């Protein structure tokens, strides 16, 4: 069987192959922390499939497994090279934040509407906290862990992608799992997280340093990623007092700021707009009712999926930004 069907009739095999796109995007984003890189990996995977002779494709018993293997290997190569690239990155590097599916827009330069297959599925394995932990792993650990623990591939299948024995892949996943457990804290109910982020937003708008300090863990950290393109702190800010004063300073010196409550990587977060343009997307980690980590992505290259519109509350005034001129 080849990918060429009778004229006028759809080829079910080709449709099945193209139907794997969403799953491949999900996998590649979790491995790379970048939608743009994930899309490049999937494009390369499909290019390799299409470049094969028909007879060679016909010998593949499971196209889905073949696509996963190729995508996993390409991601592994990207992760290895990324370590070198990120050594040259200006300031802190953070994963690309994801909007809610209802707000996702196309980042394509031709203005084409977004394809639902290009949207990453939002669950606990794409929270900013989880992705930041993945960044601390070696490339092999990350691939083995994500494939086995998140996507439920057997270690025999993982071994074929990573290029190590199943026993070695089991050890890699175990090591990665320990990193994740060490970074985890007791879960905070979602309703409480929403409340904390909302209170944080109000305190920030009011430049109420005492209220901000009360919402932050004493040892909280704030990390900003400007990529050397826009202003951002090069180093993490540590301590509730320092973070609160820095935020109050931003609110005091920047004009036309609008802060919106939004879902960021499936969790309560904030979007900061200035002059109608999304300039910062903030993700939070809340433990025991206090914010322990803030991740602020400002690099505009990582904000292309975020729309400028929405509804915001600025002070006591409700702004429907979809009607703003």
Task: Determine, yes or no, domain membership for 118.
Answer: no
- At 269, list the tokens: 């977060």
Q: Please name the residue that has the structure tokens 């297959």.
A: 117
176 plus 269 within the same structural domain: no
Question: Positive or negative CA dihedral for 172, 95, 113, 121?
Answer: positive
- Residue 264 pairs in a beta bridge with 267
- Crossing angle between the packed helical segments 190-205 and 240-253, to the nearest 10 degrees: 50
Inter-CA distances, 173 with 137, 140, 157, 168, Å: 10, 9, 13, 9
Tell me if 101 is assigned to some domain: no
Q: What is the pLDDT along the chain (325 residues), one digit of tens a residue?
A: 445 445 445 556 777 788 899 999 999 999 999 999 999 999 999 999 999 998 998 899 899 999 999 999 999 999 999 877 777 888 999 999 999 877 665 544 344 445 554 556 666 788 999 999 999 999 999 999 999 999 999 999 999 999 999 999 999 999 999 999 888 777 789 999 999 999 999 999 999 999 999 999 999 999 999 999 998 998 999 999 999 999 999 988 877 889 999 999 999 999 999 888 999 999 999 999 999 999 999 999 999 889 874 333 333 222 333 333 2
Q: Are residues 298 and 174 in the same domain?
A: no
The pLDDT tens digits for 50-98 are 999 989 988 998 999 999 999 999 999 999 998 777 778 889 999 999 9
Q: Are residues 16 and 37 in the same domain?
A: yes
Beta strands 237-238; 216-225: pairing state: antiparallel
- The span from the CA of 214 to the CA of 141, in Å, is 37
Q: What is the residue range of 31's domain?
A: 12-93+129-183
Task: Note whether 158 and 202 are same-domain residues.
Answer: no
The chain-wide mean pLDDT, for the chain, equals 85
* Same domain flag for 84 and 163: yes
Number of domains in the chain: 2
Q: With respect to residue 208, please indicate whether it lies within any of the assigned structural domains.
A: yes
Q: For the chain, report the end-to-end CA distance as a whole number of angstroms.
A: 56
What does the alpha-carbon distance between residue 193 and residue 263 come to, in Å, rounded to a whole number?
A: 11
24 and 152 housed in the same domain: yes
244: CATH: 3.10.450.50
**Is residue 102, in this structure, part of any structural domain at all?**
no
Among 183, 215, 249, the domain boundary falls at 183
pLDDT tens, position by position, 229-247: 998 998 999 999 999 999 9
Question: What is the CATH classification number for the domain harbouring 81?
Answer: 1.20.140.160
């Amino acid at each position: 069987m080849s990918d060429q069907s009778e004229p006028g009739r759809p080829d079910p095999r080709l449709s099945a192959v193209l139907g794997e796109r969403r799953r491949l995007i999900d996998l590649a984003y979790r491995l790379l922390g970048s939608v743009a890189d994930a899309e490049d990996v999937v494009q390369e995977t499909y290019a390799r499939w299409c470049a094969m002779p028909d007879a060679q494709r016909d010998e593949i018993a499971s196209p889905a497994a073949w696509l996963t293997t190729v995508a996993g290997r390409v991601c592994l190569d990207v992760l290895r090279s990324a370590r070198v690239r990120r050594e040259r990155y200006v300031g802190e590097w953070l994963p690309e934040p994801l909007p809610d599916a209802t707000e996702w827009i196309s980042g394509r330069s031709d203005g084409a509407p977004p394809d639902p297959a290009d949207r990453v599925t939002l669950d606990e394995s794409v929270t900013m906290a989880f992705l930041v932990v993945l960044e601390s792993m070696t490339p092999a650990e990350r691939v083995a862990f994500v494939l086995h623990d998140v996507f439920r591939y057997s270690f025999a299948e993982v071994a074929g992608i990573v290029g190590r024995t199943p026993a070695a892949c089991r050890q890699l996943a175990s090591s990665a799992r320990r990193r994740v457990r060490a970074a985890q804290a007791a879960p905070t109910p979602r309703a409480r997280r929403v409340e904390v982020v909302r209170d944080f937003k109000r305190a920030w708008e009011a430049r109420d340093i005492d209220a901000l300090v009360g919402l932050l863990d004493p040892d909280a950290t704030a990390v900003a990623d400007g990529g050397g393109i826009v202003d951002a702190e090069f180093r993490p800010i540590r301590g509730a007092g320092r973070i609160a004063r820095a935020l109050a300073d931003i609110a005091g010196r920047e004009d036309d700021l609008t802060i919106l409550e939004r879902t960021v990587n499936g969790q309560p977060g904030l979007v900061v707009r200035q002059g109608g343009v999304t300039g910062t997307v903030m993700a939070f980690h809340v433990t025991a009712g206090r914010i322990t980590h803030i991740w602020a992505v400002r690099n505009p290259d990582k904000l292309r999926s975020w729309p400028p519109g929405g509804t915001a509350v600025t002070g006591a005034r409700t702004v429907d930004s979809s009607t703003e001129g």
